[in-house]
Amino acid sequence: DAGVTQSPTHLIKTRGQQVTLRCSPKSGHDTVSWYQQALGQGPQFIFQYYEEEERQRGNFPDRFSGHQFPNYSSELNVNALLLGDSALYLCASSLGLNRNQAQHFGDGTRLSIL
């Protein structure tokens, strides 16, 4: 039973570049959420995808966008990277929206902006 998988594990970019992070949900899950975790902070909700649509969004600028594919996998895109975008990006999957389902996290992608 495959858990949540994310790629790549580490990434180094420079300011102004664009990045795409990928996530495959746990088998049987259909909902993907993305979180940003800065050093010393708890994860912050970016957005959530269900049925290939963005259902909920946190307090992040439009530079952060995403996509969900028919197989439930998801991408997070960040444009015009800033130094402050350096963080661990976590993907979490769950089943459905209106249920008390715990979210399962992937190992994350550690993004460093130089």
Partner 1 sequence: RKEVEQDPGPFNVPEGATVAFNCTYSNSASQSFFWYRQDCRKEPKLLMSVYSSGNEDGRFTAQLNRASQYISLLIRDSKLSDSATYLCVNHLSGGYNKLIFGAGTRLAVHP
Peptide bond just before 43 cis, omega within 30 deg: no
CB 38 to partner 1: min, Å: 10
**Nearest to partner 1 of 33, 74 (CB atom):** 33
**Nearest to partner 1 of 17, 56 (CB atom):** 56
Tell me the backbone φ, ψ of residue 9, rounded to 5 degrees: -80, -35
Residues that bind partner 1 (CB under 8 A): 31, 33, 35, 40-45, 48, 55-56, 88, 90, 92, 94, 96-108, 110
What is the Cα–Cα distance from 15 to 9, expressed in whole angstroms? 19
**Nearest to partner 1 of 27, 79 (CB atom):** 27
CB 16 to partner 1: min, Å: 27
Q: What is the dihedral of CA 87, 22, 48, 96, to 10 degrees?
A: -130
